């Protein structure tokens, strides 16, 4: 343990030593907002999604724009992620640097995260625990908002959408202030009856979906005050409410289960830029409440108290360092938890990014996490990027990363009465990744090609199995070996007022179980992990008009480790179309949009025996006003 902590501090001291050996001119302190965490993700694949002006879920946004696979329990229902062949609890979801996966289950329902409340999403592929902490075995999803701009004026947005099966979505955003204050407010509301017709092979005739209605609503408020040119404080709060009837299986005609989720997130930030670096200190409180209703009610609530400190420092033109720590306290309340359940977790970390020369980058990240009286696996990562050649019109880059990741057992794993196991070990994963990126640019055309290969070996995976008393209980048992390939092609050409765009992506994922309770599950693909998936997006724009076609292919998925093809979910190919027009008047932007989803009216399932909608339509209008003065 002492050795591990020593390595963290040695990394910072080494950076200082490198600075002492350099004759490079030291830069002035960076801007008050600091250095983006992705600066230290050298060698990793990182994407940014900006789509915060439409009222839709994070699941819908990510599924449309990335190669991630979501297991949807129906239309606008529970949606869990499979990131690079991992399980739903092996993806870290962060808000303001805080892990907001449910501490009880260790995962996020992406169907209740409103994209409208955030400006962008950072997606880091692969093992990222050295940067973001627990759960980041398959990858991480970071919810972000733009840096505060202190200036006179305001900008505002109004969005309204109507669509098939009773879909209604509304959203309002306002941001304004002066050179000292900034106020930002976002409100949204969404509801859908989900009474779509379907023709499931398990039923044999057309039925109309019942008991699947959903209603979401929420608000985000932010207040920022600029103390001086180098200091600011920011208070942020989010309230989100999701109520839904749990969509029953296609063969269950009488179910009427409901789930009521309420979330409160509060955070206070203090930012300071000085000669020591750019510091952000954060204290936060997160409360989740979930009530399930069927024949009997079940209420589970959790409290999370968090404190974080992060310091970024640009030591020279070549060297950036980052260090910090966090403390989290978790409380859970419910019939199956001890009345005094409290768990504390702590993290310390350090990072360095070194530009060896104009064509070679290197980064080292180190993290040690503690929980209860245990410590998680020490998580290092080493990443590098090398420009193989670069001209004015062409650039070829190679990247590589080796990293360790971990997942701390959830509160359910450790404390669920009467089977919780406090002796469980943290899940442990090692990953290597390599990739190349080629960019070519001419007078009218840009082409970007990216290829990636990764291999992940995970041990001590936690599974729930019947014990000697026939109760389901968690144990460290599974070992999983994942091999994957990812390819992406982006091309666009523009002449005059016309523009053509194309995006093509393909993923190959073999996620193989190597250890189980018996031999029947050995050498089998993990459930709900498609081996092949691909996406093609084509768009054409001219004079403010844009037409867009989206195509999505997902291969067959097994629903259990038995890998029975008879019970597997069929492959499907979805086609969506979109037409929108933009009008500009001085400081006003008006956008109207028409969408057709599942154009071919295909019946498909993302989760066994849960129907998804056939062909459906929506229309929307957005009005943006930008009266912000620099």
pLDDT of residue 52: 63
Q: What is the DSSP letter of 576?
A: E
Distance (Å) of CA 437 to CA 83, 385, 388, 453, 470: 21, 10, 10, 12, 52
4: pLDDT strictly greater than 80? no
Beta-carbon count within 10 A of 365 CB:
28
Q: How many CB atoms lie within 10 A of CB 91?
A: 28
In the prediction, which pLDDT does 630 show? 56
pLDDT-derived band at 19 (thresholds 50, 70, 90) equals very low
- The tokens describing 399, both together, are 């990247």
pLDDT tens digits, residue range 111-169? 999 999 999 899 999 999 999 999 999 999 999 988 888 989 999 999 999 999 999 99
> Strands 69-72 and 79-82: what pairing?
antiparallel
Give the confidence band of 470 by pLDDT, cuts at 50, 70, 90. Answer: confident
The CATH number of the domain holding residue 60 is: 2.40.170.20
Phi/psi-derived region of residue 126, left when phi > 0, alpha when psi is between -120 and 50, beta in every other case: left
Cβ contact 215:261 at 8 Å = no
pLDDT top residue among 202 and 454: 454
Q: Is 90 exceeded by the pLDDT of residue 590? A: yes
Q: Give residue 307's pLDDT.
A: 98
* Cα torsion 605, 611, 613, 614: sign: positive
* Contact by Cβ (8 Å): 253, 265: no
Share of the chain above pLDDT 90, in %: 81
Residue carrying the six token digits 């050409």: 493
Q: What's the pLDDT at 16?
A: 40
pLDDT at 38: 85
Kindly tell me if the per-residue pLDDT of 46 is higher than 80: yes
pLDDT beyond 60 at 268:
yes
Give the residue among 285, 294, 289 at the shortest CA–CA distance from 261: 289
pLDDT classification of 2: cutoffs 50, 70, 90? very low
Q: What is the mean pLDDT of residues 221-232?
A: 96
Structure tokens at 417: 């009465």
**Lowest mean pLDDT across 1-5, 248-252, 548-552:** 1-5
pLDDT digits 0-9 by tens, 331-356: 999 999 999 899 999 999 999 999 99
Work out the number of other CB atoms within 10 angstroms of the CB of residue 418. 8
Q: Which residues contact 377 (CB under 8 A, 6 or more apart)?
A: 404, 406, 426, 428
pLDDT at 17: 42
pLDDT band at 15 (very low <50, low <70, confident <90, very high): very low
Q: Give, in degrees to the nearest 5, the angle at Cα 609 between 521 and 291.
A: 95
User: pLDDT at residue 64 above 70?
Assistant: yes
Provide the residue count of the chain.
630
pLDDT at 304: 98
The chain-wide mean pLDDT, for the chain, equals: 91
Q: Where are the alpha helices (DSSP H) in 326-459?
A: 411-415
pLDDT above 80: residue 429: yes
Q: DSSP 3-state assignment of 145? A: coil
Q: How confident is the model at residue 255 (pLDDT cuts 50, 70, 90)?
A: confident
CA distances (Å), origin 598, targets 166, 273, 546, 555, 604: 17, 50, 19, 17, 10
Half-sphere exposure in the Cβ direction for 212 (13 Å, CA)? 26
Whether 141 and 245 have beta carbons less than 8 Å apart is answered as: no
66 near 46, Cβ under 8 Å? no
Supply angle C-alpha 336, 342, 345, rounded to 5: 125
Residue 110, pLDDT > 50, answer yes
- Largest CA-CA distance found in the chain, in angstroms, rounded: 77
Instruction: Report DSSP state, residue 27.
Output: P
Q: How far apart are CA 16 and CA 7, in angstroms?
A: 14
Average pLDDT over residues 394-405: 97
For range 252-272, the mean pLDDT: 93
Give the confidence band of 56 by pLDDT, cuts at 50, 70, 90. confident
From start to end of 372-444, where are the E strands?
374-375, 379-390, 394-407, 427-441
Read off the pLDDT band of 516 (50, 70, 90). Answer: confident
The yes-or-no verdict on residue 13 having pLDDT over 90 is: no
Of 165-174, 458-467, 544-553, least confident by mean pLDDT is 458-467
**SS3 for 550?**
strand
Query: pLDDT tier at 431 (50, 70, 90 boundaries)?
Result: very high
Res 34: pLDDT: 54
Give the pLDDT score at 92: 97
Residue 88 has pLDDT above 80, yes or no: yes
Per-residue pLDDT, averaged over 71-82, amounts to: 94
**Partner residues linked to 278 by β-bridges:** 273, 312
- 608: three-class secondary structure by DSSP: coil
- Strand ranges for 275-411 from DSSP E: 277-293, 297-314, 319-333, 342-357, 360-371, 374-375, 379-390, 394-407
How far apart are the C-alpha atoms of 361 and 343, rounded to whole Å?
39
Secondary structure letter of residue 77 according to DSSP = S
> Phi and psi (nearest 5°) for 175?
-140, 125
Closest CA to 94 of 49, 125, 135, 130: 135
Specify the number of domains making up the chain: 1
What would the two tokens of residue 24 be? 């490079």
Task: Give me the percent of the chain exceeding a pLDDT of 70.
Answer: 94
Can you give the pLDDT at residue 50? 81
Task: Supply the range of the domain harboring residue 125.
Answer: 2-626
Mean pLDDT of 555-564: 94
What is the structure's pLDDT at 32?
58
Distance CA 170, CA 155 (A): 18
């Amino acid at each position: 343990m002492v050795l591990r902590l020593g390595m963290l501090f040695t990394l910072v001291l080494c950076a200082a030593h490198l600075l002492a050996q350099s004759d490079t001119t030291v830069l002035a302190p960076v801007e008050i907002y600091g250095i983006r965490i992705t600066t230290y993700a050298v060698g990793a694949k990182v994407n940014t999604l900006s789509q915060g002006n439409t009222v839709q879920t994070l699941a819908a946004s990510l599924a449309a724009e990335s190669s991630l696979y979501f297991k949807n329990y129906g239309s606008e229902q529970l949606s869990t992620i499979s990131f690079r062949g991992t399980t739903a609890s092996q993806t870290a979801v962060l808000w303001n640097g805080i892990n907001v996966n449910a501490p009880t289950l260790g995962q996020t329902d992406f169907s209740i995260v409103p994209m409208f409340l955030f400006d962008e999403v950072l997606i880091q592929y692969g093992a990222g625990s050295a940067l973001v902490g627990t759960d980041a075995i398959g990858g991480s999803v970071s919810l972000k908002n733009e840096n505060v701009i202190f200036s006179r004026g305001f900008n505002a947005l109004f969005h309204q959408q109507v669509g098939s099966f009773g879909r209604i979505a509304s959203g309002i955003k306002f941001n304004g202030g002066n050179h000292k204050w900034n106020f930002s407010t976002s409100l949204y509301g969404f509801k859908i009856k989900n009474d779509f017709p379907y023709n499931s092979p398990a039923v044999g005739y057309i039925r109309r979906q019942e008991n699947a209605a959903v209603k979401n609503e929420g608000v985000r408020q932010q207040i920022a005050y600029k103390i001086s040119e180098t200091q600011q404080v920011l208070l942020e709060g989010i309230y989100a409410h999701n109520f839904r009837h749990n969509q029953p299986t296609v063969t269950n005609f009488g179910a009427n289960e409901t789930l009521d989720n309420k979330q409160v997130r509060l955070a206070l930030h203090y930012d300071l830029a000085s000669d020591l670096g750019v510091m952000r200190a954060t204290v936060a409180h997160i409360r989740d409440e979930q009530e399930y209703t069927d024949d009997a009610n079940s209420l589970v609530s959790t409290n999370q108290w968090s404190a974080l400190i992060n310091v970024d420092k640009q030591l020279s033109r070549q060297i950036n360092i980052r260090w910090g720590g966090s403390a989290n306290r978790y409380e859970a309340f419910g019939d199956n938890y001890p009345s005094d359940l409290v768990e504390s977790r702590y993290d310390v970390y350090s990072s360095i990014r070194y530009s060896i020369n104009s064509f070679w980058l290197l980064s080292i990240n180190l993290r040690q996490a503690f929980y209860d009286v245990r410590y998680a696996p020490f998580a290092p990562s080493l990443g590098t990027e090398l420009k193989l050649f670069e001209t004015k019109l062409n650039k070829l880059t190679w990247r590589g990363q080796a990293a360790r990741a971990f997942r701390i057992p959830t509160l359910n794993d450790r404390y669920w009465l009467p089977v919780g196991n406090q002796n469980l070990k943290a899940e442990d994963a090692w990953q290597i990744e390599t990739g190349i990126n080629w960019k070519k640019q001419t007078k009218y055309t840009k082409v970007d090609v990216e290829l990636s290969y990764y291999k992940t070996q995970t041990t001590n995976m936690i599974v729930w199995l019947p014990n000697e008393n026939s109760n389901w209980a968690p144990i460290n048992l599974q070992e999983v070996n994942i091999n994957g390939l990812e390819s992406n092609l982006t091309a666009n050409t523009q002449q005059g007022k016309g523009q053509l765009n194309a995006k093509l992506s393909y993923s190959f994922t073999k996620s193989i179980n190597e250890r189980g309770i018996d031999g029947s599950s050995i050498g089998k693909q993990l459930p709900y992990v498609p081996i092949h998936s691909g996406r093609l997006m084509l768009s054409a724009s001219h004079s403010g008009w844009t037409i867009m076609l989206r195509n999505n292919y997902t291969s067959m998925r097994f629903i259990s480790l038995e890998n029975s093809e008879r019970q597997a979910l069929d492959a499907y190919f979805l086609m969506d179309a979109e037409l929108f027009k933009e009008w500009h008047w001085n400081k006003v932007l008006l956008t109207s949009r028409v969408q057709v989803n599942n154009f071919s009216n295909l019946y498909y399932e993302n989760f066994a025996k849960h129907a998804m909608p056939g062909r459906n339509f929506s229309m929307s209008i957005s009005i943006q006003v930008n009266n912000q003065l620099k």
